[in-house]
Every structure is written in structure tokens, then in C-alpha cells.
Amino acid sequence: MNSRRLLPVLTVLLLLMPACGKDSTPSSQPPTVVQVRDAAGTVPVADVKIVIMDATANLPLAAPLRSDDDGVCDFGHLPGTGHMVMVFGGGSWRPFGVTETVVADVDPGLMTPATASHSTLLLTRVTPIPRPGASHISGNMIDADTGAPLDQVFVAVTPYPIGYLGQTGPSDDVTLADGAFRVSEIIFAQEPITGRPVQVLPLFITRHGYLPRVWLYQARPGENIVEITGVQIALQRDRSAARGGLRGRLLRLGEPVADLVVGIGIASLPSTKGAAGLTGFTAVTDTAGVFVFEDLPADRYILHPAHLPGDHAFYPDQDANFPREVVAGEELDAGDFLLVWEMDPLLPRSGSQVSDLMREFIWEPVPGAATYEFFLDGPGAVVVAEPTYVLPGTQPLAGGNHWWSVIARDAQGAAVGTFGQEAEFFVVEGAQSGR
């Protein structure tokens, strides 16, 4: 497992300021402090929700927090080291990229006892989002039995659990203690006969200990759906007594792959884009590449082998795409899943800022690759033989966010490598450097 990608950003930076949720409990481990800054500069960003996940269990390590006026949240002393930061920008900010900063030679004399161990471990950068002609939906998540607000509820238009890819967007959110959520850029179409707005992609809602939901807003004919407020969504506790198991094996080039995390999605919910994923249900491969899920509620599941950033699995034509039926009292063997190499984007790296004159893209070569399919900002691959691509012409790149990815294929056309996730970079117009 490529552990360096479990952290969107790794920073050591002294903070001598109040922080939300500060925990001054003495500990040998420094508290985990997240600071949010504008991607185009160093301006702190307030009112952004932050959650830190246990990367292996796919569960929050602490209650989500909201950044203060200095863009800071202090989560106190968190257990373990496999942390993954997730940033939810609401309707104003889009999480973007990664950065690494180390501030050395800090004078211990400047630190007070209350802040002496507060070294910033993580820094995430965000950028303003556009405001297209799409809808905003806001409301509250509640317990169906008690009506109490629910925190740590993940909302997204992707069918996979929020923690699977380490990425979020304006259509994603997580609830704090008040259970409130707000998602943006929700697309509606119009029924041709009635004129009723119809939500195109449903919201996938998941919280550990509760049954996942697939939810669509039921609009009235002629309703203005630009800003939908006051929505209340109730979640049912998972009380299933019928439990079973599921196992499988991960191979790469015929060899078992150890220490990779496998996620799982529930296939019985209605979805046209895949299986709604479950937070908190994961398994880790052993030295033989074997993973085992225990104590699963009896249902139909789709496996997501190696779902963390840095663990990408590319298997479009394998049985992994088919649902598996878990029945009470039995353990189902799902067989083997074949992984390809995860490739590193070398230039530009994900989260980097580049000049609009940048022309060259370079990535990590893959053993056995005969060709590489290069993608920039969407569909339409350019096929090259070497792990590099130079943009033709001299037209500057448009300012703002861009993304790129590569698929490596062998001489028979089979995929042998790909990025763990698309590499996103930020173009600064008028910069001098061509790289």
C-alpha cells in the first residue's frame, strides 16, 4: 500500500492561536491540527468542514469539525497513523490538491505549555467553486426512531463511501452534531409532459451503524428547485440479526498482494452508477493476498478491492463487478481479483501550481507497458509509447483547476497500470515558468 497517499497533505507548522475543538490533554503524540488555505494564496478559509478518517477502517477518528476564522481545526490526540483528511467545502469552496510544507528550526522558547505539542500535521487547500445552473439542497439527518440529529453522516452523489477515494466535491457533505447538511451542484432534468423537475443523480447517504439510503428529492411541477431547504432525512439503525461472511484474494501479475484495504458496497439499493458503499466495513489482505469480511448483514454486495488512494484496482472485465449474495451463517468465497500497477504522476504532481505555459506531462513508467493513454480534463485519450506527453502548439492553458490521468496497456491491450486517482493541478495565468 502506498502510504504516502493516505494523507492529502503533510505539514509541520507551529500554531500559536486558538483552534476549534482544542484538546490540551498531555500526550506523547502531538495533536492533529488541520489548517485550510486558499489554493491560489495563503488566505485562511473558515467554515469548511473537516473529518479525519481511519484509513483502514473507513471510519471517522473523531467528530467532524468546522474550521475557525484562522482556517484551523484541532482534533487533539488521534490514535494510529493511517489518517486520511477529508474536506467538505459546502456551496462556496471545492477541495483541491495536496501540498507539502516543512517549517524547520522552530524556537522552543516561543511555545507556551498549552501549545508546545501542537505541530500541524495536515494542510488542505481549497479553491472557490463556480456557480452553474444547478440546485442546492439543505436539511438535516435524523435518527428514524428518536428524531435526534445525527452527526458523522456522509452525503454524496457518488455511490461509493466518501472515504474510499479521499476526494470530495460541492455535491458531498458530512454532518456535525446538529445533523445539518448542504450539497450543491445537484442536477435536475425536466419531465417533458408534466414539466416536473427530476433529480438526475440520487444522494447516497451512509453512517456506520445505520442502513444506507439512496435518496431523491420529489419536486412538484413548476417548483423552483434552485435552493431546496428544510429537507429532513431519517436513517434506520442496522438491527439485522442475519449475518454472514465474504472472502476473496488479490493478485498482481499472478502474485498475492498483502496489506491492501478492501471496501464493500451494498448492491440491493437502487443505483444506476454502482453499489452504495458502506462506511466501517473493510478488510485487509494478508501475506497470501486473502481478505475476509465477517459479521456482514445478509444482503447483496459488490467488492471494491484496494479502495484507498494509492491502492487503485483496475478490473473492468472481471467478476468483481458482479454482486455477491451473503446469506446468514455462511462464508462466500468471491475468488481472485487482479490488480494493476498504481502509477505516480511526476509532472505536474497532484495539487501543484503551474504556469499557463506548461507543456510537458511526465509519469512513472510501468513494467510491461507497450502504450500509454493520456487524458486531460475529460474523455479523449492520446496514445503515446513513452511515459511523457507534450502538449502541441503554444496555446496557454486556461487558468484554474485541471486534471489528468494515464492508463498503461501491454502489447495485447490489457491494462497494466493506472493512476490511483486523477492528478489535479492549478494553472496560474501569467506565471513566468514554463513548467
The predicted-structure confidence for 123-141, as pLDDT tens digits, reads as follows 556 777 776 678 999 999 9
Percent of the chain with pLDDT over 70: 75
Residues of the chain with CATH 2.60.40.10: 3-128, 243-339, 343-428
Q: Indicate the average pLDDT of the chain.
A: 78
The predicted-structure confidence for 373-384, as pLDDT tens digits, reads as follows 999 998 889 999
pLDDT of residue 64: 93
Task: State the cell numbers at 411.
Answer: 502489447
CATH architecture of 3-128: Sandwich (2.60)
Would you say residue 371 has pLDDT above 90?
A: yes
pLDDT of residue 98: 41
CB atoms within 10 A of CB 433: 10
Residue of higher predicted confidence among 376 and 112: 376
**Confidence tier at 145 by pLDDT (50, 70, 90):** very high
The predicted-structure confidence for 153-170, as pLDDT tens digits, reads as follows 999 887 665 545 556 778
Residue among 136, 245, 234, 116 at smallest CA distance from 187: 136
pLDDT of residue 291: 93
Burial class (CB in 10 A: 0-12, 13-18, 19+), 197: buried
Residue among 120, 86, 122 at smallest CA distance from 10: 122
According to the CATH classification, is domain 343-428 in 2.60.40.10?
yes
pTM: 0.73
The predicted-structure confidence for 235-292, as pLDDT tens digits, reads as follows 999 888 889 999 999 887 778 988 888 888 787 776 544 566 677 788 889 999 999 9
Distances (CA, A) of 412 to 371, 385, 408, 415, 416: 10, 14, 11, 9, 10
Contacts of 45 (CB under 8 A, 6+ apart): 36, 37, 38, 67, 71, 93, 126
Would you say residue 11 has pLDDT above 70?
A: no
Q: Which residues of 221-234 are buried (b: 16+ CB within 10 A; e: fewer)?
A: eeeebeebeebebe
Residue of higher predicted confidence among 320 and 212: 212
Among the listed ranges 54-58, 74-78, 254-258, which one has the minimum average pLDDT value? 54-58
Distances (CA, A) of 170 to 96, 174, 310: 11, 11, 23
The predicted-structure confidence for 329-356, as pLDDT tens digits, reads as follows 999 998 888 777 778 899 998 878 899 9
pLDDT of residue 387: 96
Residue among 54, 265, 230, 259 at smallest CA distance from 156: 265
CB atoms within 10 A of CB 114: 11
The CATH number of 135-235, from 2.40.30.10, 3.30.565.60, 2.60.40.1120, 3.20.20.70, is 2.60.40.1120
CATH architecture of 243-339: Sandwich (2.60)
The predicted-structure confidence for 397-413, as pLDDT tens digits, reads as follows 998 889 999 999 989 88
